[in-house]
Each structure stands twice: as C-alpha cells, then as structure tokens.
Structure 1
C-alpha cells in the first residue's frame, strides 16, 4: 500500500481499509475466472449438455437471466443500502449466498439428464446474481475511500488484487486438474473439486474485507424505498440530470458488452477455433490474468496522471486491435498475442470505468448510482454474448465473423466516450 500516498485517500481513511476493500476483488475474481470463464463454462457445454447444439445457448441463457435479475433489482437494493447505511451488511449476505451457490455447483456432475442441466442452470443463475450484487456494492465503497484525484490508483489496486485472486484460484484448480488427469480421472471427478476450491477461497478472502472495511456512510432520511421497477425509473430520472454520468452509462453498455464476450467465450473460441486443449486453455486464462493485473495496476496510476477519459479511450483502441488479431490468426502463437493484449486492456478498462463512475456519482447516492452502473454492465453482458451467439448461428458457426463484429461494440464505446467532460460531471455530482 506504500505505492500510493495518503493524499490519495479521503480524510481519516487508513490504508488497511483500502487493503480490506481490495481483498474483496481478490475474493470474488476466482468465481468469474474458474466458473464463468475457464472451467465450468466448458464443462457445462461439453459435459453436462453432452456437446449438444443447444448447450452454448443454454449457458448464455442462464447468464442472461441472472444479469436481467440484477439489472432490475440492483438499483433498488443500492437505494435501500444507501438509506440505511447498510452496504456492508448487504455485502455479507450476498457473499454468503454466492459462496453457497458456487459450492453447490459441485453436485451437478453427479447427476444426469435434463435434471442436471436444469439444476446447473439454476445454480449458475443464483451464484452469478449474488456475485453481481457483491461487485456493485463493493464498488460503492470506492468514493468513500479515495479522493477524486486518487480514485484511479485505488480502483487499479482493487482490480489488480482481483486478478491475483483469479490467478490463485485458477492455479490451484489447474494443479488439481493436471493431477487428476495424470491419475486417469474424468472431468466429472475434478470439476466438482474446482468448484469447492473456488467457493472456499472466495469465502476466506472475503472475511478479510469484512474484518478491515468499515461502513462509513450514515443513515439518510430521503423517504421510503419503493418497488424495484419504480425505484429503477426514479433513479434513472434523477440520473438524467447528470449528463456526463449518462454518457458514461451508454459507453459502458457498449464496451463492457465486448469485454463480456472475452470473459464468457474466450475459452470456447480458443478450443473450437484455434485448437487449444483444456489444459492449454487454463494456462492461457492464467496468463491473461497476469496481464490483466499488470494492466489494472499500471493504468490505475496512468489514468490519474493523463485523465480517466483518455486512459479508457486508449484501452478501447487496444480492444479493437484484439478483435482484429483474434479474427485473423490461425495459430496458437498468434492467439497468444491477442490474449495478452486483451488481458492488459481488460484490467485497465474495467478499472477506469469503475473510477469514472465513482467520480461522476453524487456522494449521497453512491450505492444507488453504482446500481445503475451495474445495470449497464449487466445489460452489456446480455447484449455482447447473445449478439456473438446470434452472429455465430446466422453465419453457420463462423466465430471469426462473430469476434470481428465484436469490434463494433468497442468502436461504439469510443464514440460515446467523446462527449464526457469529467470536470463538468464531477462539479454536477458535488452540487447534488
């Protein structure tokens, strides 16, 4: 924590609190790395669905349902947490639920037939929904910890720690998978163990957050909370007064849609198009996490120096290059280049987006406005992968055209980023 000065933190905030906050990113990143990207996604399609043509659609449908639930409920949950100064309390609850759902995924390989598919989809919906709640709530702590000038550094620390956590979880799982394969054990044996490893690491690391991160907000008297739909409409109505924040939401929907394609379909593309085997895919994702951690750390400092908007714009250009390279290469070595650039861009773009949200959100409505940010990211997570799947189906299974089309999402994000004025947006947030 000596890598950034005390001046980057809000008055009274200790560096141990920042460490505790960053440890939640460390805790939950194993879930996305192991469950969503590297292990369970491929096992669901190839093992539980037995490679059926509908397997990939069922997987993306389960994720889309969870994202739709989060989109419609997170603003209301955020408003409730703001009113009662209960972000930490809710964070504990959703963490326990996600850890339990992840551990329960270990049951699915022991079942067969339609019931196994239905149970796996249900548990993915549950675990991913509560994971998303936790991601939004932990983001809402950021403006309470960091100053506007230091938000990039602190956000970068969080994302960087997150990728380290993802690497640890994936590394432990990879070691067990390689040992199991050497013993001749099938995927139905080692996949359940990887789910238990991921759940245990998530729960243990999150306890550090709960021990070190205090709830600094105070209860508010802004009226009673409403239903999710009404709360969502009211929050959007209030947010429309913050022009730059709204531009950021639009930008987020576009570029995070492309990032969601990378997270949810990278392993499938590597194996089905480039020819990777599962163990090579896990190594690829591991190295991608190293690059992402370096990107999050490095760009966290760069964005505070050159500006958040410029920093995000640079990463979106890098993402466009990733799509072009991935669509054109046919060798594993060439795809490694695309994956490395994607890792650097992934960490930096996600860190920059969260920091920009923290700067442009009104201080009294942090969880509520981070709920809108979560709405945007989850909408992106529906639009991106489903578009990829639809284009793949429409082109007779040509995933190269689908990944090339993903570049359009990053171009759209770049165009929507141009009108944002961070100084104007910060002044509007503070006037609230």
Structure 2
C-alpha cells in the first residue's frame, strides 16, 4: 500500500480533528454559555439534534458511497458544507448560532463516516489497526496545531473577549480547508463501475432495507453496534462539555486550559499509537474493553475529586483511553462486517451511535442545569458500564 495514500488519508484526520477540538470541545460551548446567554442544555441540544440528523441520513450516504463508488466526491461535498457553516457561527445571535451549529456538526459527522469507509481503500487487513492508529495520532497532531493557531489569535485579539472567540470560527474553517485539500489530491479510492445517481439511490434504499431485515444474522455486529453507541455517546459527552466542566468546577481560565488540552492531545495521540499496536496484536475487542475500564475509573475519580491537579491527572489518563477508542472501533467494525457492506454498515454504526448521541448530550446538558456537573457525570458512567458488559459478549 502506497505510503502517500496513508499520508493523505491521515491528513484528513488532522484537518477535521481541529473542528472537534476547537469547535466542539472549546469555542462553541464557550460562545453559547459565556457570550450569547445560553446554557448547557442549549449546547446539548445543538449536538444532540445534529447527532439525530446524522443518524437519519448517514446510513443512506454510506450506501450511496458503496453503490456510486464516489466516496471521495461525497467526502468533499460534506467537508465544504461544514467549512462554510463553521465560518459564520461566531458572528450570529443565539438563535442562528444554534442553527448553524447544528448544520456544521451534522456535515462534519456525515463526512466523517464516509472518511472512515475509505480506510478499506488505503490499507490491508494486516495493517488496518496500525493505519487507523496513525490516522488518530495525526488527528491529535491537528489538535496541537489548531491550539497553537488559536493561541496566537487569542494573544493578539484578547483572552476572554468575544472578539477573540468570534475570530476562531473562520480560522477553524480555513484550517480545515487547507489540510483537507491534501487528502483530496492524494487519496485514490478503488473505483467501481459508475452507476447513475438515481440508480445508486434506489440501490441504496434496497441495501438498507436488506440490512435491516437481516440484521439478526449478524449477532456479534449487532451487539457491537449497541455497545458502540453507548461508549461513543459517553465519549461525546466528555468531549462536548470538557472545558465547561473545568471552567465551572475549578475556575480554569481559557489560557491555562490551552496548555492542559495540549498535553491531553499528546497523551491521546500516544494512546492511539499504543492501542493501534495492541489492536493488531491482541484484537479490537480487548483494546475496547480496556478503554472502557479506564474510563469507568476516570469518571468515578472525577465525581469524587475536588482539586485541579487531580482533574489534570485523570484527564490525561482518560485521553490515552480516548485515543484507543477511536483506534480500535474502526477495525472491529470492519472485521465484523461483510466486506461489500462496509461503507453501509459504517453508516449504520453512525445510526446507532448518533441516535444515542442525540440523547446523551441533551440529557447531560439538562442534568447540569438542574443538578450540577457532579451528579450529571452519572450519565456517561452508566453508558460506559453497560457498554463494557455488552462488549464482553461480542465474539471477534
């Protein structure tokens, strides 16, 4: 497999992880809570609705990608739509920020599932875990680079200022566009015989219907999908509310958080590489089970800890496990799924994850408003525990 293919594919992880780090984890929640008069429920609503919309449409997108054989073209479309909507979020009132936030998050997630399916075109069965790990690790390099970019912007415009926060959103869009261009020029997917779009659409609906009606035949895949929507939902809650949790519970200001977040990104990148090797050697299931155990311990520790130093230590440990989750999930689904339905079933993984993801952030955001962060942490804790129990039943 050509190294430039893997390089090009991993660069997209670098580009889009900047969206996840700066938009999802940091500046969108901060904009809503601190500058537009919203609260955690509004934040959870934005990401929850975008998850549900993605759950409705991503399986169809995946099936069309399989039938039409133009995954890179579809990836390009949703990437550009995400970039466009992200650009204008910072200059909106609360109402329009919510609308544009839903749109940007939806397009990001739609593109992500098509991107995941492209791993089949640039890797082999033997190195797929490692390639996935490289992608995740390079993605966290994107987190570090985007944090450096954001730091320079905030230093020049002003920390804790609305103008500085607003300037970040066009910067995210430009960053995403710049690095994703390399992916679109370097990735060469395995082309199939072209099919008319209308015919591809009809075939997509038929394949989705067949997959639903015969899902019971793939018992292990079905169990894995249930587990994945639970543990990914827990991960999404952590990612979306991480900075606000640190800000509200420990009074952590924006500037020092940059350095903590950078350390966590390095830890997550190392975790991705470590778990990539562990996945190739011991299998995806053992890797995922290990990450769930780690996160259960971390959440319990966060519930009972009251110091910033303890928060930082537990967050670094959790970051290592976070890198492992993303590394092991792709290869496990691909191993359990029939090869000719990989893109479609990646879409169905998106379906199960995103419908649950539509519930988790909304529940957590509402729980924070009503009961505070400590009690709200019981929600992701329950998700991780149930996911662990189900994962143990999957035969890989």
TM-score range, shorter chain: over 0.9
Shift of 1:164: 0.8
Contact 2:45 2:361 in 1 (8 A): no
Higher mean C-alpha displacement, 335-344 vs 39-48: 39-48
Corresponding residue number in structure 1 for 2:178: 204
C-alpha separation between the residues in 2 aligned to 1:390 and 1:192? 26
Alignment equivalent of 1:41, drawn from 29, 32, 57: 29
Q: How many residue pairs align between the two structures?
A: 394
Corresponding residue number in structure 2 for 1:219: 193
Q: 1:190 to 1:390 in 2, by over 3 A?
A: closer
Corresponding residue number in structure 2 for 1:119: 96
Q: 1:274 to 1:233 in 2, by over 3 A?
A: farther
Shift of 1:168: 0.8
Alignment equivalent of 2:76, drawn from 77, 83, 92: 92
What TM-score does the superposition give when structure 1 sets the normalisation length? 0.86
C-alpha separation between the residues in 2 aligned to 1:94 and 1:405? 31
SS at match of 1:107: coil
Cα deviations by residue, 1:356-384 (Å, 9 ceiling, x for unpaired): 11222222122211111111222232232
Alignment equivalent of 2:131, drawn from 126, 141, 154: 154
Corresponding residue number in structure 2 for 1:426: none
Corresponding residue number in structure 2 for 1:66: 50
C-alpha separation between the residues in 1 aligned to 2:106 and 2:378? 29
CA RMSD in angstroms comes to 2.1
Shift of 1:255: 0.7
Q: 1:147 to 1:421 in 2, by over 3 A?
A: farther
Shift of 1:226: 4.2
Is 1:24 equivalent to 2:12 in the alignment?
yes
What TM-score does the superposition give when structure 2 sets the normalisation length? 0.94
Shift of 1:122: 1.2
Contact 1:260 1:380 in 2 (8 A): no
Shift of 1:237: 2.6
C-alpha separation between the residues in 2 aligned to 1:367 and 1:159? 19
C-alpha separation between the residues in 2 aligned to 1:238 and 1:209? 35
C-alpha separation between the residues in 2 aligned to 1:320 and 1:287? 21
Is 1:300 equivalent to 2:276 in the alignment?
yes
Contact 1:103 1:195 in 2 (8 A): yes
Q: 1:279 to 1:339 in 2, by over 3 A?
A: same
Corresponding residue number in structure 2 for 1:8: none
Corresponding residue number in structure 2 for 1:314: 290
Shift of 1:278: 2.0
Shift of 1:15: 1.4
SS at match of 1:264: helix
Shift of 1:221: 7.5
C-alpha separation between the residues in 1 aligned to 2:171 and 2:292? 34
Is 1:129 equivalent to 2:106 in the alignment?
yes
Is 1:57 equivalent to 2:21 in the alignment?
no
Shift of 1:40: 2.1
Cα deviations by residue, 1:262-304 (Å, 9 ceiling, x for unpaired): 1001111111112211222333222221111111111101111
Shift of 1:220: 7.5
Answer 1 or 2: higher relative contact order, Cα 8 Å, separation at least 6: 2
Alignment equivalent of 1:140, drawn from 92, 95, 117: 117
C-alpha separation between the residues in 1 aligned to 2:247 and 2:204? 40
Corresponding residue number in structure 2 for 1:353: 329
Q: 1:271 to 1:316 in 2, by over 3 A?
A: same
Contact 1:225 1:231 in 2 (8 A): no
C-alpha separation between the residues in 1 aligned to 2:53 and 2:210? 18
